Copies of this chain bind each other. A is one copy, B any other.
Amino acid sequence: MQVQLKNIEVEKSKTTKINEVDFDNLAFGSVYSDHMLVCDYKNGAWETPKIMPYQPIILDPAAKIFHYGQSIFEGMKAYKDTDGKPWLFRPLDNHKRLNISAKRMAIPEIPEETFIEGLTTLLHLEKDWIPTTPGSSLYIRPFVMASGIGFHASPADEYKFIICCAPSGAYFSGKVSVLIEEQYSRSANGGVGYAKAGGNYAGQFYPTQLAIKKGYNQVIWTDDNTHEYIEEAGAMNIFIRINDTLITGPTSDRILDGITRKSILEIAEDEGIKTEVRKISVTEVVTAAKSGKLKEMFGAGTAAVVSPIAAFGYKGVDYDLPELNDDYASLLKKRITDIQYNRTEDKFGWRFKV
């Protein structure tokens, strides 16, 4: 079936896989919905986006994505409220960030209407795929990759912008313990750390595997020059509570400007929690842990939502975080998810009707 919806061509799938999915036991990002959006960049312009049945991508072996890692992505979620209505959270910010990443990776920018119309049209089609089990949502993965060919190390002349959807449960299962990294690094000054560029993630796999072997779930990255300042985690920005002050590092060209991070900062201020955005050293965190002033650490990101950290390791020593009854993480998580799932008034104007 070939229908023209606004500026998007839609070819509906003749079958559905939805009955094969156990929506009560979803892993993270491992099953995919029936449709995807594909938009090609050719001859200097983005063509008309097409929504089509989820299907393999066919590329020349010389496509630059395979050789030079020229790719960027976003991570978003669609949430369903108790009336069955789907919602997005600050999607225009994802679009803006995708284009910030695009610029740094020499990828042509995606027009706002292509992104937003493409996304909402796809979600209209896939709304039955948004899970309703508590803590689950439809994870949305927009990405752009170099499909143009050549072994010359230079930007491609063709790209594919694709959106896929994956009904997903929690990113972490159980308590999260982290290793503060002393040797490896995620990003360089003047590098691509602030971009959601594919290569930033593969570079983290090996050090993260080493940390997992030692019994941790995640690495907390530190600056590559001194390893003395806390930067961020694999897919989360990091918040640290010392006494009653909530601290997070400033964004920079090494750190992803997380949408959850900036939302949490606004909610915390709204709650009257004292916040500080400043460099925070490992020494300060360790000293606070030793004196009992370190009350909480948590990660914040679309996939991980607000993920409390139960313990951290540094220089061979493990430090446990206390278990509090009035922790900020639970409060902030409730407030942000209440907005996301349309369980409360949206005083910040973040919710976006699909």
Contacts and interface: CB of A to CB of B under 8 A. Distances in A.
Interface string A161-199: 010101010010000000001011111111110000111
A57 B61 contact: yes
Contact of A67 (B73, B105, B171): B73
A27 B152 CA distance: 9
Interface stretch (A10-18, A200-208, A289-297, A323-331): A200-208
A176 to B, nearest CB: 14
A155 interface: yes
Contact of A105 (B104, B154, B205): B205
A237 interface: no
A150 B30 contact: yes
A6 B136 CA distance: 51
Nearest to A210: B106
A139 to B, nearest CB: 6
A206 to B, nearest CB: 5
A234 B73 CA distance: 24
Contacts of A206: 103-106
Contacts of A55: 61
A32 interface: yes
- The oligomer's copy count stands at 2
Interface in A307-323: none
A260 to B, nearest CB: 15
B66 A153 contact: no
Interface size class, chain A: 35 or more
Contact of A201 (B69, B73, B190): B69
Contact of A184 (B36, B103, B191): B191
Contact of A202 (B36, B69, B186, B205): B69
B145 A141 contact: no
A168 B153 CA distance: 14
Contacts of A154: 205, 208
A23 interface: no
Contacts of A152: 27-30, 171
Contact of A151 (B56, B139, B191): B139
A3 interface: no
18 contacts: A54-B61, A56-B59, A65-B65, A65-B198, A66-B143, A67-B143, A68-B199, A70-B205, A71-B202, A106-B202, A106-B205, A151-B168, A186-B188, A187-B191, A192-B199, A198-B198, A199-B199, A199-B203
Given A55-B61, A67-B143, A106-B206, 5 more contacts: A62-B166, A66-B143, A151-B168, A187-B188, A199-B202
Give 7 nearest A-B pairs by CB, closest first. Answer: A199-B199, A29-B151, A69-B198, A69-B199, A188-B188, A106-B205, A69-B69
